[in-house]
Amino acid sequence: MKDFEQSAGPRGFAFASVGAGFRYKDRDDLGLILSHTPAAAAGVFTTNLYQAAPVVVCRQALERSKTARAVLVNSGLANACTGDQGLDQCRASLDLVGRAVGLSPGDILPASTGVIGPRFKDGAWLSAAPRLAESLGRSSAEDVARAMMTTDKTAKLVSRAAALSGGEVRVLGLAKGAGMISPNMATMLAFVICDAGVDPDWWRLAICACAGESFNRITVDGDMSTNDTFIALANGASGVCAQGDADRDALRRALAEVCRGLAYMIVRDAEGGTKVARIVVSGAKSRAQAELAARAVGNSPLVKTALFGCDPNWGRVVCAVGRSGADFDPARLTLRFGEAVVFRDGGPVPGDLDLVLKPIMSRPDVDIHIDLAAGTGEYELLASDLSRDYVSINADYRS
């Protein structure tokens, strides 16, 4: 496997990005990822009952066809909770961009992120579409990743190469996200492109499974957006097909690595965040029970603020697990921070725990392992800390 900086991108794709002025000034806020040929297409979306116009339109496109040619993404305005007019604007944008780049509107999958409620200004897409077409092939994947940023501090890209029986294939992922993260995706957009030939039905199953192992296992603030979108395209431009079980397993591993890498980068870039907590719950009666415990800890403001302050307040973790709804015997729980066991058999272990935990809590990545000793269920969650800056960023988001 290769990192993004060391690996050429997937073959058969081109990129475009421009500044359309939807909300931001003096920066790109509109991007396009285009496959030179029809690509197997898959999507995973927010489960919020309020689904943004691009989510509705994208889902409809994927229900009509197993292939697509492009992803169109804008930042600044979410086009969410905008009614029928928002749907009309989304479809009109696909028509304008499609005519500019020579594609059918139905071949373009839309995604948006930004402020909920406002609609696009009249004429914004009309002027942006031809400039986007002129940019096609002159921009990079990183340009698109930057164009879709909102409160993100950095662009997020991860690439891997997988060796299949017929040769090498490449996978590239782009994502944005820093707040409103949890659960079942996040205020995040993620796009994965691949040059392998794949069975479209398998591709959709694989992408759904990868989302469950990555983007659905992160939290910043326990909130969920109206726009969460994860789209994946595989166009076969490498000439290498994932045909047998071994090939598919290798490709799936590469996909999973890309998605987990992007998910980690989202938590690392959390609004105001300074730490990533890796919360592992084991010994639960079921996976669902383990998830209850992990999310109670990862979403606890008290745990998160303790992480920010490097405060070894392990009691907040025990308390969160106790109220999580998971079924276990409190006298059997074992809690470990990093390599240090701090709680066992219903009480703290002997010793100066503050002294033991101080260097562990000062790390940028903190491992928290909770063993419920009630079964075989396991769950892993990545969570950010909670800082003063998070409040400031979100208090001033629209100003």
Question: Which are the catalytic amino acids?
Answer: 187
Closest CA to 257 of 210, 223, 216, 221: 210
3-class SS at 165?
Answer: coil
DSSP string, 219-252: ESSS---S--EEEEEE--TTS-B--SHHHHHHHH
Q: Give whole-number Cα distances, 214 to 22, 111, 119, 260, 267, in Å.
A: 30, 20, 32, 5, 11
Q: Centre a 10 Å sphere on the Cβ of residue 275 and count the other Cβ atoms it contains.
A: 22
Pairing of strands 218-219, 229-234: unpaired
Q: Cβ(128)–Cβ(206) under 8 Å?
A: no
- Token pair, residue 262, equals 């992007």
Longest dimension (CA), the chain: 71
Distance in angstroms (rounded) separating the CA atoms of residues 228 and 237: 28
Can you count the helices (H) and strands (E) in the chain?
11, 15
Distance in angstroms (rounded) separating the CA atoms of residues 34 and 359: 47
Alpha helices, DSSP H, located in 4-123: 53-64, 83-101
Residue 285: exposure state from Cβ atoms within 10 A (0-12, 13-18, ≥19): middle
First to last CA, the chain: 43
